[in-house]
Copies of this chain bind each other. A is one copy, B any other.
Amino acid sequence: MNIEELLVQSLQLLGLGMGAVFIILVLLIGMVTLVSKLVPEEIVLTVTTPRQGVDPGHVAAITAALHQYRKNR
């Protein structure tokens, strides 16, 4: 396969690839939004969990913050 063909193909891939990524994630946004509408909301506070779990200090900090937060309402 010569270089021209390769360049054409790679450009096609660029289009197809970004297209697929956007279509799928947009579709996902739609479905997630729909679900969040349908699902009854509970009282749950989300906190990010980094890949390596949460260390005690972290938990302490969060629970403290939550405690504080409940007091404030």
Contacts of A65 in B (CB 8 A): 62-63, 66-67, 70
Q: Which residues of B lie under 8 Å from residue A61 when comparing CB positions?
A: 59, 62-63, 66
Kindly identify which residue among B48, B56, B72 contacts A62, using a CB–CB cutoff of 8 Å: B48
For residue A73, CB closer than 8 A to chain B, the reply is yes
Interface size of A in residues (CB-CB distance below 8 Å)? 24
User: Is A18 engaged at the interface, CB distance under 8 Å to the other chain?
Assistant: no
A38 to B63, CA, bound (A): 31
Q: Which residues of B contact A50 (CB under 8 A)?
A: 51, 54, 58
Residues A66 and B62 in contact, CB atoms below 8 Å apart:
yes
What is the interface of chain A, defined by CB distance below 8 A to chain B? Answer: 47-48, 50-59, 61-70, 72-73
